[in-house]
Structure 1
Amino acid sequence: MVVRSAADGPSPLFVTWSTVRPGKPSRLRGCIGTFDPRPLREGLAEYALTSAFRDHRFRKIEEWELETLECSVSLLTDFEDAASYLDWEIGVHGIHISFPHPSLIPASPSPSSAPSPLGSAPAVPTRSTLRHSFSATFLPEIAEEQGWDKLETVDSAIHKAGWSGRISEDLRRALTVRRYQSRVCSVGWEEYVQWRTENGGAM
């Protein structure tokens, strides 16, 4: 399966490694990418290695694991500013969130813990707030795979960004959210071996 040709130009992309075993759910083994458009050949070469060896959440992938791994490439498309943290669809959109340190977010006059589709204007960034910013992303398939609803996905993204404190509605409303879509190609070890041998490569 080919998702895009190199002639199509640069694209933001993520490379994901997963451990796949018969009868068991796949397990994330590494995932890193970039939102800066990169030529496909160059981006794949760089981020296949980066996600395999430099994802700080995991130890480096070792040779003995290769037969159990699946590699997926996500080409990111259709970036849009979301009107609020709920303005996206599970199974359709990935989300990229960013927010200042919660101590810098003004409290609303009537604090509420109930989710609201209405956004609030984020604080005007200054030299000091820029040193206390957080960001994270989830690819479009993540919420569906985890069985999360929108609120659970957003709160998980906030924690993924590095915030370990309480998540208030004021914090959610202060999020800057970009939604996006993706085209995904996944290849397992056996398919890779077949392709390589058919093209004269040694294993």
Structure 2
Amino acid sequence: MRTNILFRVIVVLLLLFPGQLLAQDRQPAVAGSFYPGNADALKKELSQLFQNTSTQTDSSIAALIVPHAGYIFSGKVAATGYAQIPIGKAYKNVFVIGVSHRVRFSGVSIYPHGNYITPLGKIQVNDTLAEKLIAENSFIHFVPEAHQSEHSIEVQLPFLQYHLKKGYRIVPILTGDSNPATTRKLAEALLPYFTSDNLFIISTDFSHYPANATAQKVDKETADAILSGKPEQLQKVCQETAPNPPENVLTRLCGESGVLTLMEMVSGKPDYHYHQIIYQNSSVSSAGDPSRVVGYYAISVTRDNEQTFHLTENDQSYLLKLARSSIETYLKSGTVQKIAPGYPEGLQQHCGAFVTLIEDGKLRGCIGQFNPSIPLVEVVRNMAIAAATKDTRFQPVLLSEMKSIEIEISVLTPLHKIKNVEEFTPGKQGIYIKKGNRGGTYLPQVAEQTGWDREKMLSHCARDKAGIGWNGWKDAELYTYEAIVFHEK
């Protein structure tokens, strides 16, 4: 009887808390062989690998393609790749995409329960995100035996622990095949997370086992295909390995599927760029054999920095005072206030802004301008007056109301046209919908105020702001932007 009750309790617990009960930290499999198994020795080796690396310290890096061989062979190339990221840079998530070398399976495997362990300590897995990706995509599974002894993810982790600011979590992804359909689906699933607060690491070596001279030629052809930014070009080059491969080339790119996934995410986006960082092969290692080598490249993908605004507290205070005085001057005299010379230099930049008026916690007026040809300081003055007098949803503001009105200003980045709605992140970005001569927008803060998800944001904006119907966004031009939002206290 007791056994039966215990069995039932276990079943209930498994149903209610499967992840927690099945959670098992993934122990290091290649520590002591691919890299030192002792923490102090590993830190010392990493320190030596990062010495004299060619560093660009490019904070706009979106992804790195780096090798995963033993550190004695590829550690310098990998370290030079990681060195392009400013030391201590903070990320929310690091997606590490490796390839399963020992276990073959269809689709993709993500490690969802437990964390990864290295000699430098525990590196936390974003199990919530891992489980979400598995639940939402039929081709993504958890194949425990694939992760158990696989090195392509593990060897990257000490570099992350040594170089990045703590606080990030990893999403460990293994590809089980190089089916182009799988890489396209994986790219689509990961695209919403391909943002500036996440980093993507693509773990791959290049040619396997040709002589040094052949490796250099073959690896350059493969790297050039990647640098072209065209997934079909890389597929074409990799297909040349079979049925008539170059001499002694077993594979051109063992992590082809991970690289193709990255290229699919970046394809067609002119604000992303590929950069060759360094090339070596195993012949340069003291343990290498020039007649039988493996090639290693470090390649980065950077995104154009969105226009950033470094508005100081003084800048923000000036704009808020200007907005209020401009409204009051116009309501008193019907004249537009002149802007006195000597205003803060940062307000000379040309960028859009919206001015929002709030009375007793309710919207009283909101008007803005994108991509202006006048300085920010003039945009704020003009939009403040317009919000008070020209928002057709409300009666013009009366001077007597100004004591109870709070002013909020949103300074905008340039508009960025998107091709896929998954590129729109409500709460972080605003949305602008344009169809013909109609258009409408919601500022980033609207998502938090309303609780709407992506589709509701788009539908409400299309119907209520652009006037093109609930589903009008589906065949309209879509633009995103970000904002610095500040208000009177």
Sort the TM-score into its range (normalised by shorter chain). 0.5 to 0.7
Q: Distance in 2 between matches of 1:180 and 1:16?
A: 17
Is contact 1:90–1:149 with CA below 8 Å preserved after alignment?
Answer: yes
- Equivalent residue number for residue 73 of structure 1: 409
In the alignment, which of 423, 427, 430 is matched to residue 87 of structure 1?
Answer: 423
In the alignment, which of 425, 441, 445 is matched to residue 137 of structure 1?
Answer: 441
Q: Distance in 2 between matches of 1:172 and 1:18?
A: 28
Q: Distance in 2 between matches of 1:96 and 1:64?
A: 34
Q: Secondary structure at the match of 2:365?
A: strand
Distance 1:40 1:146, change over 3 A: same
1:27 aligns with 2:342: no
Is contact 1:6–1:39 with CA below 8 Å preserved after alignment?
Answer: no
Comparing 47-56 with 70-79, greater Cα deviation is found at 70-79
Is contact 2:365–2:387 with CA below 8 Å preserved after alignment?
Answer: yes
How far apart are residue 180 of structure 1 and its match? 0.4
- Equivalent residue number for residue 354 of structure 2: 14
Deviation per residue, 1:120-178 (Å, 9 max, x gap)? xxxxxxxxxxxxx42111111012111111111111111121235xx44xx44312111
Q: Distance in 2 between matches of 1:32 and 1:78?
A: 17
Q: Distance in 2 between matches of 1:53 and 1:46?
A: 11
- Equivalent residue number for residue 150 of structure 1: 454
Per the normalisation by structure 1, the TM-score is 0.66
Q: Distance in 1 between matches of 2:439 and 2:376?
A: 25
Structure 1 residue identity aligned to 2:358: S
Structure 1 residue identity aligned to 2:457: T
Q: Which is helix-richer, 1 or 2?
A: 2
- Equivalent residue number for residue 41 of structure 1: 377
Is contact 2:370–2:415 with CA below 8 Å preserved after alignment?
Answer: no
- Equivalent residue number for residue 163 of structure 1: 468
In the alignment, which of 59, 66, 69 is matched to residue 395 of structure 2?
Answer: 59
Deviation per residue, 1:17-60 (Å, 9 max, x gap)? 0113xxxxx21110111103331221122111111011111001
Q: Distance in 1 between matches of 2:473 and 2:370?
A: 22
Q: Which residues of structure 2 form unaligned runs of 5+?
A: 1-312, 320-342
Structure 1 residue identity aligned to 2:345: A
- Equivalent residue number for residue 482 of structure 2: 181
Structure 2 residue identity aligned to 1:145: Q
Q: Secondary structure at the match of 1:36?
A: coil
Q: Distance in 2 between matches of 1:156 and 1:85?
A: 15
Structure 2 residue identity aligned to 1:19: E
How far apart are residue 184 of structure 1 and its match? 1.5
Structure 1 residue identity aligned to 2:416: E
Structure with larger Rg: 2
Q: Which residues of structure 1 form unaligned runs of 5+?
A: 21-25, 101-132, 189-203
Q: Distance in 1 between matches of 2:369 and 2:478?
A: 17
Aligned residues: 147
The Cα RMSD (Å) is: 2.0
Structure 2 residue identity aligned to 1:155: S
Q: Secondary structure at the match of 1:52?
A: helix
How far apart are residue 6 of structure 1 and its match? 4.3
Q: Point out 4+ residue stretches in structure 1 off by more than 3 angstroms.
A: 1-6
Is contact 1:75–1:182 with CA below 8 Å preserved after alignment?
Answer: yes
Which of 1 and 2 has higher RCO (CA within 8 Å, sep 6+)? 1
How far apart are residue 63 of structure 1 and its match? 2.0
Distance 1:79 1:172, change over 3 A: closer
Structure 2 residue identity aligned to 1:179: T
Structure 2 residue identity aligned to 1:10: H
Is contact 1:86–1:151 with CA below 8 Å preserved after alignment?
Answer: no
- How do residues 106-121 of structure 1 correspond to structure 2 at under 5 angstroms? none
Is contact 1:18–1:71 with CA below 8 Å preserved after alignment?
Answer: yes
Structure 2 residue identity aligned to 1:136: G
Sequence identity, in percent? 28
Q: Secondary structure at the match of 2:423?
A: coil
Is contact 1:95–1:139 with CA below 8 Å preserved after alignment?
Answer: yes
- Equivalent residue number for residue 192 of structure 2: none
Deviation per residue, 1:92-119 (Å, 9 max, x gap)? 000111124xxxxxxxxxxxxxxxxxxx
